[in-house]
Amino acid sequence: MPEEIASIEDFDKHIGGGAAAVALFYYPYCPFCSYFMPEFEKQAGEKPGFFRLRADILEEIEDRHSVEVVPTVILFKEGKEAARLDGAYGRGLSAAQLSAFLSANGL
């Protein structure tokens, strides 16, 4: 299961390594996030580098990465944003979108 990140320091540590890191930005009260979370957890499985963070608590990180819609999934490589999958207003994200995103990025 993906780890929950609770601080800016933890976030920077997770994305700063040499390995790819996949972050799910979410709000716990967002119905689209609640629907999507189990799919993110399922596809992440026990793979290293997958984590999630509450964008409503870690607003500085949300702003730093221009997250406008949740859920949003961002792939980081060597501390930099390499790819992203933004949710759609009023629809969120689907399992098929996440699968395609991960496959397209070799994950």
Q: What is the CATH number of the domain that holds 36?
A: 3.40.30.10
What pLDDT sits at residue 85? 98
Give the Cα separation of 74 and 82 in Å (integer).
8
Residues 61 and 8: beta-carbon distance below 8 Å: yes
Q: Is residue 12 helix, strand or coil?
A: helix
Tokens 């870690």 correspond to what residue? 58
Given pLDDT bands bounded at 50, 70 and 90, which one contains residue 47? confident
Q: H-helix or E-strand containing 51?
A: strand 50-54
Query: What's the total number of domains in the chain?
Result: 1
pTM: 0.95
Checking if the pLDDT of 46 tops 90, the result is no
Structural domain of 82: 3-104
Checking if the pLDDT of 17 tops 90, the result is no
Give the Cα separation of 17 and 42 in Å (integer).
24
Given pLDDT bands bounded at 50, 70 and 90, which one contains residue 1? confident
Give the Cα separation of 45 and 81 in Å (integer).
22
- Span 65-72, average pLDDT: 96
